[in-house]
Structures are given as C-alpha cells and as structure tokens.
Amino acid sequence: MISDPIDLCLARESIDTIRLLAADAVEQARSGHPGTPMEAAPIAYLLYTRHLRHSPQHPEWPGRDRFILSCGHASALLYSMLHLTGYDLSLDELKAFRQLDSRTPGHPEFGHTPGVETTTGPLGQGFAVGIGMAMGARFLSEQVDRELFDYRVYALCSDGDLMEGVAAEAASLAGHLRLGNLVYLYLDNHITIEGDTALAFSEETATRFLAYGWQVLRAEGENLAEIDAAIACAKEDPRPSLIIARTHIGQGAPNKQDSPAAHGAPLGAEELRLTKVALGRDPEASFVIPDAVHLHMTAAVNRGSALFERWQQRLNDRQAEPQLANWREIVERGLPDGWQEHLPVFDAAEGPMATRKASGLVLNALAPQLPLLLGGSADLAPSNNTVLEGEAAFRPGASGRNIHFGVREHAMGAILNGLAHTPGLIPYGGTFLIFSDYMRPPIRLAAMMGLAPIYVFTHDSIGLGEDGPTHQPVEQLAALRAIPNLVVIRPADASETTLAWRLAIAERRRPTALVLSRQNLPIIDRHSYGAAEGAARGGYVLAVEEGDLQALLIASGSEVSLALEARTMLQQQGIGTRVVSLPSWELFDEQPQEYRQEVLPPTCQLRLAVEAAASFGWERYVGDKGAILAMSSFGASAPAAQLLEHFGFSAAAVAARVEQMLK
C-alpha cells in the first residue's frame, strides 16, 4: 500500500476530521488533552492508512503490527483513529469520552477498548513496553516462525516520554539488541506543561539516540511526504528508528497552537469554533465525519481482513512445523499437558537451601516443558538464580531465552509487560527485592492490565547480611502487598518455592512476585508437618498444636522455620502452639471465610506474627490482642546470623514473646 501516492486532498480532509473529532470529544467531556491529538493527527493518519498492518475486525490477530500511544494523554487521538478505521468503537463512545463505563477512558486502557495495545499514561512506560513487544516479536520470529511474526512496533512519544529514565534505559537496550522492528515517532513540539521545553530539556536528542545505536530521522510534522518517507525508511533499517517530527501542539487552533494552554484542558467553545472556521468546517457542527473520509478510512477493514486471512492461511499451511504447533497449542489451549510433572521434590534430609537456589532449580525444571518461558535479570542473574542452563542468550540477531537486561530494573519491568503482551510468552525478571522499588510503575501496570509476568525478587530481608540497610528490604513486602491484583508469595522453604512457581506459571491473568531468601533455610520435614500444597491457599496449618490451642504463630518465608523452632520450645513447656505458614496474603484472603477461620481460629486470640519486614498491615491477621515481631527501622550491615539475632528474630525471642503474652 505504501507505494500508492498520497491523495493530498483526501488526506487533509481526513486529518482535519481526526483533529476535530478529538477536540470535540475533549470539549464534550470538559476534560482532556486536545493539543497532542491535533498535532499528531497527520502521523496517526499516515500510520493507520499506509503503514500499520492491522485488521480492525481482528484486533487480537497475533501477526498484526502494534501501535502504542506512549503519550497516553492523547487518548482522544487513538479513539478517533480506532473509530474511523472501523474498530468496534462507536461514535457514541467518542461522545462519552472520559465518562463512567465508557470504552473511552482518559488514558488508553488495555483490555477495555479494542485496538488499545497497552495501558499508557504514566510517561515512559509505553515507550519501554514497546521495546518488550519488539523483543517478543523477535523471539517468536526466530524461535517459532519468521514470516508469521515479522510484525513491527510503532509508538508515538512526547517530550515527557523522552525525559523519563525508564525510556532511556529501554532505548539503550533496544539499540544494543538492534531491534529493527521498532519505529518510534517523537512529537518534538517544544512545549511542556511548565512552558517551553527549553526550561528543562536542551539535550541533543538525536545525538543521544545515535549513541544508543538507533537510526534517527527528521521530518516536519505537517509534511506528509516527509513523514511518509521517514516511516518507510525506518521500516527498512536494521536498527530501531526514531523519527523526530517537528510538530506544533494544538495545530490548527488559531490562538492556542504552540501554547501549553492547548495541552491539558479543552480548547473552549470559542476557540474550537474558530478552529473549525480556520479548517473550513461548519463551526456549529460537532463529531462530523465527511462521507469521503468515512469511506477512505474504513477501507482499513477489508484491507486488514485480507491481511488477516492470508496470515491465517499461512498459519494453517505450516502447522506441521513443531515449534509453530507448540506455540499454537499454548495460545489456543493454554499450558501444555504435564508441564508440572518434572518439578523437583525437596527432602528435609537434603539439608538447608536458600529459596533463591530452590527457585533456580525449579525454573530449570520448568524450562524444558515450557519453550515460551523466557527471562533474565537486571544484571544479577548469578545471585537471582535466573539463568536457564543450556539456553542461549537473547542477543542481537539471536533471540535466546536468557535475557540480559543490564542494570535497568525499571526498563526490565516495562519490557516484561511488553513480553507478556506477546501471545504465548511467559516472561520473568529477577532482581533484589529492594530494587522492586525501582520498578513499581510497570508492576502496577501489569496488575492493572491483568498481565502475568513473574518477578523473581531475591535477597528478601535483613537476612542478606553484610550489604546493609541500602540493600535490605523492610517496607517492600508491604508496598507490594498493597498493589491491587498482584500476587505476592514468600515461600518458607524449597518445597513452598516449588509450589510458588507452579502457582505463578498457572496464573496467566495477574502478575506474581516471588520473594526469596539469599540465606539458607531448613527444608521443612513434610512428614512431620503440613504438606507444602497448603501454600496454594495462601496460608495453611503447618504444625498443629499439641493439646489445647493456646498460641498461634503466623509467619512467612525465612521466619517460618523460626516459628517451628519456637513452637517446639513452647510445646515443651506445655503451651499448645500452632504454626501457620502464610506465604501469600492475597491468596489466603481469597479463601472462603470457613477455611480462613479453620486456619486461624477466632477463638485463639493469642497470636504472634513473625516476619523480618515492616509490621505494616499484619494487624489484619493478629487482631486486637495479638502482637507483631517485625522490623521497626531500617536494617544494618553485619553477618546475617548476628543481624537476625540483633533485631530479635530468634526462636528463643519468639518463644519468650509468647510466654510474656500469656502472662
């Protein structure tokens, strides 16, 4: 299609229609961002009509090109494009922009609107998610089928996207990996919310991206031929491409163009009227789509369906290829049969083992059954135990399953989202738990979108020892547990770690954070104590009281063994003590009340929670009469055993606390 000359007259009419649809939607909502849709309309027009291989009636077609609106505040532009090109998004939805229960929320939300590829709004995220999508495409193309997955990722970015560190991290990795399937367009409009970008942003962006190894092109934002040629050139280059388009915020609005006033508020009735006059439209009419524009734009439907059919045909023709058959089965039917049959079983006799080590063993047992499981670490693979043994690295020109993210936790989080958007892939990423703080924005977005990346967070408490308080998580557990729709699992030993991985893999609709110890932990003797399968319910009775139930010890992770030891001491004194392992609050809270009360009988009010992390939130389980043995400050630098003792995490201290409570 790209070889056709541009019908300039029809293009202009279409572009003005896009501009005004977006401005009308914002005006109607009395809220939103008209300026960016107006400036970016020519680019969006060219992309959707001449470059994107998309099929409006098959928005989930795996072989489609992806378009990301990284500047998510320009959502009215995206909705206008989706409506005009025939996606299932009516004009009424555009008129209900930013209203409750509409499909046109303030920022694009994945899963909410057909054609929205990822949730954007927090700047930089879309930019970095796109890099993950491009890596996913590269992986499928090299590992499954080259032609079927030769799709590209396009993104529209603003100044803010380029100022955010997460985009810088991701751009550096994209250049390193030579992701030629990336075509990014940057709206260089010289305006930010506080005024001219020159207030805070005077770097030479083009040079910076050249330094990353990108191709950099320039175009005038209103020059269709220039933009079109730049996109064509970007598609052909083996490097990722950044097209710097000099645009004008609020383009077409006589008094607000090039002003921050066009950014985050409706144009206002009078300015919108003047804009319509300037564009030669009826100033009194709103949401107008000329017939010629309608016909021209909806041609995307048939064109897209033909592309889709051809792809589907190719898929069917080649389904004898084992890689492709595998992929198709996973995408259409879910995880392959028997994927969890070869997992290690840990025996207490094997002696103590760090849960991070157990995690590495389980991961490597899973890998052969799950060819679309891939991931890595933010340069801590040997510590996180995230390497898939015998598998190749994800390198430029060779997409193995071991990804080296570099020291880029934030980009890793966003890239995992991009990989999770890729049909069939199960991505994971590791770092120290403390550095989950660097990647909260993409974790939150994964939870919001219902994506299911797996986070391997090791070195989970002061138990990491000498590295000291900068590396010792205290509040990170609470901060992760507070995120809606994220499952956090802190296994007590190697056996619970196996189960945690099983849960994380099986859970394909929300993200899971595995919280693992650096230090060795006893492997709990499951002949004497409750089976690790109990962890699937979030919490379970690990050790039943002998005699009457007098005290309840509730713990997670490394503190569970401590609780078991304390229980032995207490039972020796005749104090009937139960130990509950509570690796996942989210999973436990989802259980029926009956089960929860069976595990934590309301009749037993003497409850002590033990966790080497902030006490924040534990009141939920210990109740008014209970107590919490936890961290009330940052940690310190010393060998782990000394630190745990110093901060009160010993069996003797736990037992003493219970005795004191009994008095």
Between CA 24 and CA 31, with CA 27 as vertex, the angle to 5 degrees is 130
Query: Is 409 annotated in the active site?
Result: yes
Fill in the per-residue mask, 264 to 303: x = in contact with a copy of itself (CB under 8 A), - = not in contact. x---------------------------------------
Query: How much of the chain is helix, strand and coil, in % rounded to 5?
Result: 45, 15, 40
- Specify the stretch interacting with a copy of itself by CB under 8 A; choose among 25-33, 272-280, 349-357, 491-499: 25-33
- Identify the residue among 6, 31, 218, 352 touching a copy of itself (CB under 8 A): 31
In a 3-state reduction of DSSP, which class is residue 579?
strand
Closest distance of CB 161 from a copy of itself, Å: 8
Candidate residues 1, 90, 92, 165; the one interacting with a copy of itself per rule CB under 8 A: 165
Q: What are the CB-based long-range contacts (under 8 Å, 24+) for 614-623?
A: 614/474, 614/475, 614/477, 614/478, 616/475, 616/478, 617/478, 617/481, 617/482, 617/585, 620/585, 621/554, 621/582, 622/554
Residue type, 446: A
Helix axes 125-143, 440-449, angle to 10 degrees: 70
Q: CB under 8 A: which stretch of 135-143, 200-208, 345-353, 532-540 binds a copy of itself?
A: 200-208
Terminal Cα distance for the chain, rounded: 83
Q: Which is nearer to a copy of itself, 102 or 497 (CB)?
A: 102
| H or E segment and range at residue 284 | none
- How crowded is residue 435: how many other Cβ atoms within 10 Å of its Cβ? 20
Give the three-state DSSP class for 184. strand
Nearer Cβ to a copy of itself (7/92): 92
Residues 319-348 that bind a copy of itself (CB under 8 A): none
Which of 424, 441, 511, 534 binds a copy of itself (CB under 8 A)? It is 441
Cα 122 from Cα 300, distance rounded (Å): 30
The residue within the footprint of a copy of itself, chosen from 4, 5, 60, 194 (CB under 8 A), is 194
Do the beta carbons of residue 470 and residue 529 sit within 8 Å?
A: no
CB of 282 to a copy of itself, least distance (A): 28
Query: x-or-dash pattern for a copy of itself, window 503-532, by CB under 8 A?
Result: ------------------------------
Cβ closest to a copy of itself, residue 633 vs residue 660: 633
Please identify, using beta-carbon distances, which residue of 470 and 572 lies nearer to a copy of itself: 470
Measured from the CB atom, the residue of 264 and 290 that comes closer to a copy of itself is 264
Q: Alpha helices, DSSP H only, in 58-123? A: 75-84, 91-95
Candidate residues 37, 453, 491, 617; the one interacting with a copy of itself per rule CB under 8 A: 617
446 is a site residue for a copy of itself (CB under 8 A): no
Q: Which of 27, 93, 109, 409 is catalytic?
A: 409
Does residue 643 sit in helix, strand or coil?
Answer: helix
Site for a copy of itself, residues 105 to 134, rule: CB under 8 A: 105-107, 109, 119-123
Under the criterion CB under 8 A, does residue 639 sit at the interface with a copy of itself?
Answer: yes
Strand-pairing partners, residue 333, are: none
d(CA 65, CA 410): 25
Near a copy of itself in 538-597, by CB under 8 A = none
Q: Does 434 engage in binding with a copy of itself (CB under 8 A)? A: yes
Write out the DSSP string of 618-631.
THHHH-TT-EEEEE
Q: Binding residue for a copy of itself (CB under 8 A) from 14, 251, 340, 377?
A: 377
Residues assigned a catalytic role: 409
